[in-house]
Structures are given as C-alpha cells and as structure tokens.
Structure 1
Amino acid sequence: MTELHTDRLILRDWRPEDRAPFAALNDDPAVMEHFPNHLSPDQSDAMVERIATFLDEHGWGLWAVEVAQTGEFIGFTGLSVPRFEEHFTPCVEVGWRLARSSWGHGYATEAARASVAHGFGPLGLDEIVAMVVPDNTRSQGVMRKLGMTRDEDADFDHPLIADGSPVRRHRLYRLGRDDWAVSQKAS
C-alpha cells in the first residue's frame, strides 16, 4: 500500500488502535454536523473495514492521517470511488474527516493536496471531484484551496441520503489534471 508523507502528516494504512479515536470522531456532533447521522462504534468499525479493504485492493484510498511529530491519529483523508450512480459517476472523489481537535491547523488541506497529487501523478487520473453539503463552508474552503471549482450545473440530491433530510442536497466541485498542473507551476 502507498503511504504519503507531507511536512507534518503521514497518510498511512489503518491500524487497530485507530478504531477507538475514529469511533469518537464519528460520534462528535461538530464533526458529523453535515452528515445524516452519527455512527455507532459498530458502524464506525464497519466503515474502517470497507476503507481498509479498498486500500488493500487498490493501494490507494482513504488513508488514516497521523500527525508525524506526535504519532496522533486525527482521521482520514484520501481518494475514493463513490458507491452510488449519479450523472457525474464513475469518478474519483477526494475527501476527509478529521477530529475537531485537529481543525484550524491546515491539516485537511495539506493531506488533501498530497492525495490529489497522488491521484494526478502516479494514478494518472484526469479529474478528481468533491461533494459537499451547501452549509459546509469549511470543506468548501478546503476545496477552493485545492484549486477546485464548483460545477453549479451539477448540484444533486445524494441518492444514499433519505428524502427530506437537510443534508441531502450536495454541491459538486471539480479539478482537472490540466488545471492542477497549472496551479503546481504557479506555486
């Protein structure tokens, strides 16, 4: 499995000791504000199993994120393939979910940049997308820092979220390989 390193973070395979802090962040009301519900410890463990299986099969995916200096597990960041059909699928999505204690340090952007670089570099992707609830301004800020732009004609009702849910409507952000390459030359 590929492991990614940034100045401050390690994006790595999941370990058994990641499960308890991951379950805690999946039950944190602030972390889960823009999701349909909190996850029970069993649901959180099942999610880790799905993520770890994908990583084992593909060598990339949603990596566990560790602060290099302390070894602290803070959540996940990486690339995934949505498990639903929509007008923009099949696709590869960049995503993240970090513990509230790690917010405000730029970790989501730093880890997502490494994930996007891996997607456009070794994986040879042509496009990476991101999906977000309109009220989730923090994640939209990360998307813009990555160079992603909102595809205003592509907003959609998430098919895995129940009708009537306040978090069913999603915005779609896109980043193409050429735009990413230009942004890399400018930085």
Structure 2
Amino acid sequence: MSVFDLQLETPRLLMRPPRAEDFAAWASFTGDAVAMAHLGGVQSPPVAWRSLAAMTGAWQLQGFAMFMVIEKATGEWVGRVGPWQPYGWPGPEVGWSIDRTHWGKGYAPEAARAAIAWAFSQLGWSEVIHTIAPDNHNSKAVAAKLGSGFLRMGQLPEPAHERPVEIWGQTRAQWQAHSKG
C-alpha cells in the first residue's frame, strides 16, 4: 500500500495525503492574509503550488506530512493538519492550519487528536511538539485542549529563522494520560 492510500477518519472529518485536486482550496487558503498571518504570510498561486508540492514530497520522502482535512458532510477542504518535520525543524511536530471559513467548528483539535494518535502509534514518536507564534492565542488554546503545554522558546529553520516561536508539546506518556482523562 502506498502512503498516498492512507486515510484517517474522525466523526466529522476525513484526513488523507494531498492530491492535485486540493490545489484550488490550498491556493485560496494560502492567499488569505488573515489565515496566513502566523504561517509566513500570503503565498501567490505559483508559490502555493510549490508549497503543496513540498508537502506531497514530504509524504514520499518521509512517509508522513500534513494531511488534507476534508469535511465528511460536504466534501469541502477544511485545512491541513498533521505530522511535520522538515530538515532543521525543532522537533517532531503535529501542526494545524484551518481555512478561515471553518474556524470555530472545533476541527483543529479534532483532526490534531487523530494525527497525534497516528504519529505516536504509526511513526513511533516519543514526543510531539507544536510551533506557535507568540501572539497566536487560538493555536495556544488548541494546544492546551490537546494536553500540550509550553516547553520553551525556539526558532524555525530558514527562511523563518528570524521569528521566534513558542514550542508547546507533550510526551507519549502525557498524551496517553490526557487521552484517558
């Protein structure tokens, strides 16, 4: 089975690797200044294409990357959520980015829970982090809902190396204890 056949499912969402058909929604998302405020800024369609191709390539090279999140009820692209650890990253991350039209529906924590469980069980990770801009209070709230806490300040690799990030996270044991509670 190819990694591109992988699919996770939550009560309201389907999560799968990227496909070419995701590009229009991806480009719309990456072109939204509000949604991209903490993600490096707006991307033009050619840059968005390359970022989608990089995400797809990470699936091929590493066997994991962020999942495309699809709303079951409508088939709409909701966002990207999942494991992410490009070269030079400060640790094994599960991140989330939800299209602004779907903010406030609880999709980020729902999808992130599934992605964290998958990363621990299938990738064998012993910890998971979340890199969060210091002023991104919504992502901090999601991280806290997941049972993660602030660990330290850190930096991302180039070209985002000049912006400090808060690193939140938890160990596998902490995740298991939080999931039971």
Q: Shared fold (TM-score greater than 0.5)?
A: yes
What letter is aligned with 2:175?
A: W
Within 5 Å, give how 1:81-160 maps onto structure 2: 81-84=85-88, 89=90, 91-151=91-151, 154-160=152-158
TM-score by length of 1: 0.88
Structure 1 gap ranges (5+)? none
Aligned counterparts of 1:64 and 1:109: Cα–Cα separation in 2: 14
Q: Which residue of 1 aligns with 2:173?
A: 178
Q: Residue 33 of structure 2 corresponds to which residue in structure 1? A: 29
Identity of aligned residues (%): 32
- 1:48-69: CA deviation from partner (whole Å, max 9, x where unpaired): 1111122234443211110011
- Partners of 1:67 and 1:54 in 2: how far apart? 23
Q: Deviations over 1:68-114 (max 9, x none)?
A: 111111221000113326xxx4x210111111001000001100000
RMSD of the TM alignment (CA)? Answer: 1.5
1:69 pairs with 2:69: no
For residues 157 and 58 of structure 1, the distance between their equivalents in structure 2, rounded to whole angstroms, comes to 22
1:41 maps to which of 39, 42, 45: 45
Query: 1:131 Cα shift?
Result: 0.5
Q: Which residue identity lines up with residue 6 of structure 1 in the other structure?
A: T
- Checking the alignment, whether the CA contact within 8 Å between 1:133 and 1:171 is kept in structure 2 is yes
- Compute the TM-score of the two structures, normalised by the length of structure 2: 0.91
- CA deviations over 1:139-169 (Å, ceiling 9, x no partner): 1111111111101xx2024342264xxxx12
What one-letter code is carried by the residue in structure 2 that aligns with 1:126? Answer: S
Which runs of 5 or more residues in structure 2 are unaligned? none
